[in-house]
Amino acid sequence: MSEDKWKTAITEIKRGEIRVRGYDITEMMGKLSFSDAVFLILKGELPGKEESEMMRAILVSSLDHGVTPPSVLSTRCVLSGGNSLNAAVAGGVLTIGDVHGGAIERCARILQSWGKKPDQISSVAKELVSEFIYKRRRVPGFGHRLHETDPRTVKLFQIATDLKFSGRHMELAGAVETELTNALGKKLPINVDGAIAAVISDMGFDWRLGKGFFLISRVAGLVAHAYEETVREKPMRKLGNWNFEYDGPARREISGSR
């Protein structure tokens, strides 16, 4: 019953042969950088020179952000409960949700949807910002809790400028930043999620792959954290005695017969 067949257009496997998107894995092993191979498997085609450079810079940019993000806490807690490296990394990947790395997806969705409008970029941006302010919604991909100007964003745009890599979505992202500044009276800069969203949109990636770029990069950081937990920490991480608090009902008894 062919309906039950699991189909794929990603990789073909035969005895002694592995071909990704049509290319032999051994040829890829000899000729492709890892970031180009990632581009190929996600996009179905090899990147051009500029795309290759942007892809490399994106994947390097999101490698790690220290011990504080919730994905690292999960990774270390899972490891610490007496689990394997893969389970720990899975716990971290699981944590990278709508508010942690998720802005890439949401911002790319907005840029791709508004970017289709035939109007001039500046008027599209004006309309977009008006609508979000009217609906009292934040535009995902702009502003950062810690970095006033995110160094990764600055670098990513600089690399793009040097390569003359820019398309409608990057222009739209820039115009939205300008409009947000005008509308709010203070700078709400594009953050690294927004910058990646703009770049992958100009590379022609579907916004639904947005979180994927972050995951592929950050998983290296998660592996490093899981390993560090293995070699440097005792098992069974717990909150210390002083940093939790119970504020529920006081002691009581089960009344009557049950």
Q: Closest distance between a copy of itself and the C-beta of residue 199, in Å? A: 12
Q: Closest distance between a copy of itself and the C-beta of residue 182, in Å? A: 24
Q: Closest distance between a copy of itself and the C-beta of residue 123, in Å? A: 31
Q: Calculate helix-pair angle for 85-95, 210-232, nearest 10 degrees.
A: 140
The DSSP secondary structure of 163-231, one letter per residue, reads TT---HHHHHHHHHHHHHHHHHSS---B-HHHHHHHHHHHTT--GGGHHHHHHHHHHHHHHHHHHHHHH
Q: Do residues 54 and 33 make contact, with C-beta atoms less than 8 angstroms apart?
A: no
Choose between 43 and 126: whose C-beta lies nearer to a copy of itself.
43
Choose between 163 and 183: whose C-beta lies nearer to a copy of itself.
163
Q: Closest distance between a copy of itself and the C-beta of residue 201, in Å? A: 15
Choose between 125 and 196: whose C-beta lies nearer to a copy of itself.
196
Choose between 114 and 213: whose C-beta lies nearer to a copy of itself.
213
List the end-to-end C-alpha distance of the chain, in Å, as a whole number. Answer: 54
Choose between 118 and 248: whose C-beta lies nearer to a copy of itself.
248
Rounded to whole angstroms, the Cα distance separating 11 from 14 reads 10
Q: Closest distance between a copy of itself and the C-beta of residue 173, in Å? A: 18
The one-letter amino acid at 45: E
Query: What are the two backbone dihedrals, phi and then psi, of residue 123, each rounded to the nearest 5 degrees?
Result: -80, -30
Question: Is the torsion defined by CA of 193, 196, 198, 204 positive or negative?
Answer: negative
